[in-house]
């Protein structure tokens, strides 16, 4: 959605719907495989429907009003998921049943398969992002991002473009959320819909570069590195929340010095040298 010029706190919502899967019921490995398919694709479908409804209500807003609307929706989903205990497990969340090492059930006793799985998802999403950016739809999103009035005058259906981008973003986040839950084997309302989770999902794109295929990858790599270093340092000095402070400082520096992110900054410097 950043490609359309809208920064949202809804990513945790799409991912949360992909993560809350019916997995705590006992059963065989075959049942686990079926539950995985139903959970992941069912979560993607639920995210699609939710994005359509929410997008219809909020995408006519602009700037800070749109961001506040998605924040309010995120907070509401946290409270709803805590209230409907039978469906979501309440504040304690849900735990997955371990069926054993299985590629089809996406379960393993070691993290190595998840490393390769996450790498495959990154490559797939990178290719998909490049394809979208080079398509007519991608050009329409960039036009809407730069100037909605000019885009509408040129014949671009502004609201439809925003809504389609909103839906695509929700589905992609939901599918990644399914892999997230398979790795951690548990989920709770804050991890699924919490505001902090949504912010962490947005930071890589903001840090690396909005509207670029490499931006979220570079931003994510930097965030993971900083998170590990700050967590190690926080453990040494017994201070919590250092990673959040570092994220905030990093984001502030990027906004002030490189509004288009690291990729945009590097592209500008490289193009300046070639002139």
Same domain, 23 and 149: yes
Question: Measured at the alpha carbon of residue 162, what is the angle toward residues 215 and 49, in degrees to the nearest 5?
Answer: 100
| pLDDT of 199 above 80 | no
Q: Are 226 and 98 members of one domain?
A: no
Which of 134, 169, 193 terminates a domain? The answer is 193
Q: Are 26 and 96 in contact (CB under 8 A)?
A: no
Q: What is the pTM of this model?
A: 0.74
Residues 20 and 136 in one domain: yes
Domain that holds residue 180: 2-193
Strands (E), 123-187: 186-187
End of a domain among 144, 176, 193?
193
Residue matched to tokens 């379960």: 107
Q: How confident is the model at residue 124 (pLDDT cuts 50, 70, 90)?
A: very high
* Other residues' Cβ atoms within 10 Å of the Cβ of residue 138: 18
Give me the helix-helix angle, 195-208 and 11-19, nearest 10°: 120
Same domain, 114 and 204: no
Is residue 106 domain-shared with residue 162, that is, in the same domain?
Answer: yes
Give the pLDDT confidence of 27-52 residue by residue, as tens digits. Answer: 444 444 556 667 778 888 888 888 88
Residues 264 and 129 in one domain: no
C-alpha to C-alpha distance for 142 and 46, rounded to whole angstroms? 27
Same domain, yes or no: 103 and 154: yes
pLDDT, tens digit, 9 for 90 and up, residues 212-253: 888 888 888 888 888 788 878 777 777 776 777 777 787 788
pLDDT tens column, 144-160: 888 888 999 989 999 99
Cβ atoms 162, 144 nearer than 8 A: yes
Contact 160, 166 (CB under 8 A): no
**Domain finish residue from 150, 177, 193:** 193
Q: Are residues 201 and 273 in the same domain?
A: yes
Q: Are residues 171 and 199 in the same domain?
A: no
Tens of pLDDT, residue by residue over 51-77, are 888 888 888 887 778 878 888 888 888
| Domain count for the chain | 2
Q: Do residue 243 and residue 179 come from a single domain?
A: no
Same domain, 189 and 199: no
Number of H helices, E strands in the chain: 13, 2
Is pLDDT above 70 for 22? no
Q: What is the DSSP string of 81-133?
A: HHH-HHHH-GGG-EEPPP--SBTTTTB-SSSHHHHHHHHHHHHHHHHHHHHHH
Whether 181 and 240 map to the same domain: the answer is no
């Amino acid at each position: 959605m950043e490609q359309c010029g809208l920064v949202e706190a809804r990513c945790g919502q799409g991912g949360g719907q992909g993560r809350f899967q019916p997995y705590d019921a006992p059963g065989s490995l075959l049942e686990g495989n079926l539950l995985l398919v139903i959970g992941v694709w069912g979560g993607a479908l639920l995210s699609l429907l939710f994005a359509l409804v929410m997008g219809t209500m909020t995408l006519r807003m602009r700037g800070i009003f749109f961001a506040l609307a998605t924040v309010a929706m995120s907070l509401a989903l946290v409270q709803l998921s805590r209230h409907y205990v039978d469906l979501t497990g309440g504040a304690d969340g849900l735990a997955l049943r371990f069926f054993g090492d299985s590629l089809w059930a996406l379960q393993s006793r070691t993290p190595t398969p998840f490393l390769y799985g996450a790498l495959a998802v990154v490559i797939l999403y990178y290719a998909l992002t490049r394809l979208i950016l080079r398509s007519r739809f991608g050009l329409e999103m960039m036009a809407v991002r730069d100037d909605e009035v000019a885009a509408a005058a040129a014949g671009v259906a502004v609201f439809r473009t925003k809504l389609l981008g909103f839906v695509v973003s929700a589905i992609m986040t939901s599918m990644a959320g399914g892999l997230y839950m398979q790795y951690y084997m548990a989920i709770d309302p804050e991890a699924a819909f919490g505001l902090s989770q949504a912010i962490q999902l947005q930071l890589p794109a903001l840090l690396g570069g909005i509207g670029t295929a490499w931006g979220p990858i570079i931003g994510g790599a930097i965030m993971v590195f900083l998170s590990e270093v700050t967590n190690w340092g926080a453990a040494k000095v017994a201070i919590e929340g250092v990673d959040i402070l570092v994220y905030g400082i990093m984001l502030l520096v990027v906004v002030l010095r490189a509004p288009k992110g690291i990729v945009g900054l590097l592209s500008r410097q490289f193009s300046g040298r070639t002139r």
